[in-house]
Every structure is written in structure tokens, then in C-alpha cells.
Structure 1
Amino acid sequence: MTPMNNADYLTRLEHADELEALKAAKKASGLTYEQLAELIGVNKVWLASVFEGQQYVPEEYTVKLAEALKISPSATAFLNSHPYKGNTDPILYRLHEVIDTYGPAIKDIIHEQGGNAIMSAIDFGLDVDVTEDAEGNHRVIIKFDGKLLPYAKKGKYPW
């Protein structure tokens, strides 16, 4: 198989038709990501990422998703392969900008409060909400919840 070119990688054309069909089935269901996530027992943000082709989905959840959307399990089976991931959207650029701008400060605070450690992206939770503040402005609230992983001290220092 020829490797994907950069354009295919960034736009995830590998399963574009299947993803569009999945989005159409979700729209036809009338369910929100939150409602659908609750039905199948997953996180709403993770599920929304699935619909963008950004997640590997274990078979048990591809089956539950098909049942919830009242479609054939064969229509969700493609989600059981590991995707190529990329970003092409302005919101994603802003998220990168946030990490580029505040990442070093976040790192310093993690080390200051948690010691010689990092935040796990595997033992990790994520939530997103849009709220309205007292002035009527809409605000985006993003919560990262990663396990603090102290560096292992195996062998002689420095390890």
C-alpha cells in the first residue's frame, strides 16, 4: 500500500465516505453527542472525536454505536482501525496556540505542585462545555484531567 500523502493525512480521506454516512446517521437520530455518549457509555468529547475520524474505537463500542444509531454494525466497523490524525481547523489551531502560550507555565506549575512528574495522556479525562457568563458572553470551558505520573527512579541517577 502506498503511504498517504500529507493532504490525505490532514483531511483523513481514508474513511471520508464512511464518516459522512456516520454523521448523517447521527443527524437522522436527532441525538446530541452527549445523549449518544450516555447511551453507549463513553465520554461525549471522545465520541465527537470519533465522528471526525480521530479515534480508534474498540469493537464493543462500534457495535453499541451502531445499535444506538439504528444502523448496521458493518457501517461502524471501520472505526476499529487506528486512524491517521491531524488538524486543519481554526479551533484546533487556537488550542495549539493555547498550549504553545501557556504550556511552559502549566509545566512549571505541575512540577511545582506535583514534583518531578508529567501528566498522563493515557490515564486521562477530558470535558468541554459552552456556558454563558454574567455579562451574557459565551465561554468555552475545557477540563483536562490527567493522572500525575512521577518519573520512575530505576537504576542509578541520572536514569
Structure 2
Amino acid sequence: MENKASVVSRLLAVKQKSAKSYSEIAEETGLTNVYVGQLLRRQAQLKPSTAPKLRASLPDLTDDLIQEMMTPPMRSYDPAIVNEPAIYSMSAIDFYCSVDKIKGVDGNDRVVVTFDGKYLSHSEMRAENMVSRIRLQ
């Protein structure tokens, strides 16, 4: 198994050779452009039902790259880059993100970042509400 940096380098070379943008690949696969970026950086797992669509969009993907993308990724964070006290309590359950480019009223390019996720409120972990403890008594 290759190291992650080598796999990502190969995946990004395939994308570059295709001359397609993340948005174009997303449109062809039915994914969001951010998710395509995550796939090509080994931050998300390619699902079997999506593999043929991705291969059609990026025909230079080899069998070994597809297989690598279908394994669960090992995500990691550099503490020098991410230094956020709540980083491990954040959740992305049922969460979508997209990045789009539009023309502003002045004709200049603008970026639109859309976060679309399920709202999960924080709850206080009170012992009296712990159902398993109540049943054990």
C-alpha cells in the first residue's frame, strides 16, 4: 500500500490531466464539488455505486487508485494548523458543503460557500437522564 501523500499526488495528477474543475467532476458524478475534493485528497471514502461515475468522469483513474479510494481514509490533523478547542466535538452528520463561483454585480468573480447540515444542539450530559443507568437500578 502506497503512502497517502503518494496516492493523493497521483489522484491530483489524474484530475489535472483531465483539465476538469471540481465542479465539472461533481456535475458528472452527482456529488458536491467539496466532496470530490475530499475524495481526491483521500479525506472521504468512495462508495461502490459512485466508482463507475467517477471513472467515467476521470478515465485515467487506475484500478489500484479506485481500490485505494474505496478504503476508509485515515484522517489526520496537524496540531500546528488546527488548534481549535472544540475540534473533536464538531459533527458533520448529514452535512453537505459546496463551493461555487459566480459573477458579482460589478462583473468580478465571487465565491459562494454553502454549508447545509443538520442542526445538532449540544446537550448537557446529566446523570439523571442516562437511560442505561436508570434501567440498571
Q: Partners of 1:63 and 1:45 in 2: how far apart?
A: 19
| Larger helix fraction of residues | 1
Q: Partners of 2:29 and 2:111 in 1: how far apart?
A: 25
Deviations 1:66-89 (A, max 9, x none): 22111233332101111111245x
2:69 corresponds to which letter in structure 1?
A: L
| Structure 1 position 16, deviation (Å) | 2.5
Structure 1 residue aligned with 2:97, among 126, 151, 154?
Answer: 126
> What TM-score comes out, normalization by structure 1 length?
0.58
Structure 2 residue aligned with 1:58, among 39, 44, 47?
Answer: 47
Change beyond 3 A, Cα 1:148–1:40: same
Q: Partners of 1:38 and 1:132 in 2: how far apart?
A: 19
Question: Which residue does the alignment assign to 2:7?
Answer: 18
Alignment of 1:9-158 (within 5 A): 14-71=3-60, 72-88=62-78, 93=81, 121-129=92-100, 141-149=112-120, 157-158=128-129
- Structure 2 segments unaligned to the other structure (5+ residues): 131-137
Change beyond 3 A, Cα 1:49–1:67: same
Q: How many residues are aligned here? A: 122
Q: Partners of 1:138 and 1:46 in 2: how far apart?
A: 22
| Larger strand fraction of residues | 1
| Structure 1 position 138, deviation (Å) | 7.2
The question of whether the paired residues in 2 share the 8 Å contact of 1:120 and 1:148 is answered with: no
Change beyond 3 A, Cα 1:150–1:86: closer
Q: Partners of 2:6 and 2:91 in 1: how far apart?
A: 33
